[in-house]
Amino acid sequence: MKTTRASASRAKTSPLTRSQTMARVKARNSKPELLVRRMLTDMGYRYRLHRADLPGKPDIAFIGRRKLIFVHGCFWHGHDCRRGAREPKANAAYWRRKIAANRERDQRNCDALGAAGWAVLTVWECALGDRAAMEIRLKDFLSDAASVAGRE
């Protein structure tokens, strides 16, 4: 049974799935964030990183536009997707508590930022597979007309 699973995952391995696998393994792996930053740079946007003066230290900040982007790993932030639903084999109860706390903190930060007049976009790791769709989403969020807070 083990060999079947191993060969199946090997067959599917591409650069993207490899980085997604690594993001699952390391809590602070910033590969999804780096990918979004590279996309934004390629699109010609300028931004600030990890503003410590804002709740949740947003990953990417557009100060003049008053817009913020968080790039969340699906597992660590408890996304409602297949990857977010993964149950760790060891210390499952500990991780469940930890992820629930992360979710609550994310929500609190998002609420506080929204109340302070910031528009917040959460980019989920699982959405980065479709790069063209993500570009449209980023462009849409950063356009002057859009100011929708807390979009999923």
Site for Zn ion in 119-148 (CB under 5 A): 124, 126
| Residues sharing a CB contact under 8 Å with residue 51, sequence separation 6 or more, in sequence order | 57, 58, 61
Q: Which of 31, 37, 72, 79 binds Zn ion (CB under 5 A)?
A: 79
Selected from 39, 56, 65, 81, the binder of Zn ion by CB under 5 A is 81
> How do beta strands 119-124 and 67-72 pair?
parallel
> 31-42 and 15-25 helices cross at what angle (nearest 10)?
130
Whole-Å CA distances, 50 to 33, 100, 141: 11, 22, 19
Among 71, 74, 110, 113, binds Zn ion (CB under 5 A): 74
Q: Which is nearer to Zn ion, 109 or 122 (CB)?
A: 122
Q: Binding to Zn ion by residue 113, rule CB under 5 A? A: no
Query: Interface with Zn ion by CB under 5 A: which range of 13-21, 30-38, 51-59, 118-126?
Result: 118-126
Dihedral sign, Cα of residue 76, residue 80, residue 86, residue 90? positive
Residue 18 or residue 48: which is nearer to Zn ion going by CB? 18
List contacts with Zn ion (CB under 5 A).
Answer: 74, 79, 81, 84, 124, 126
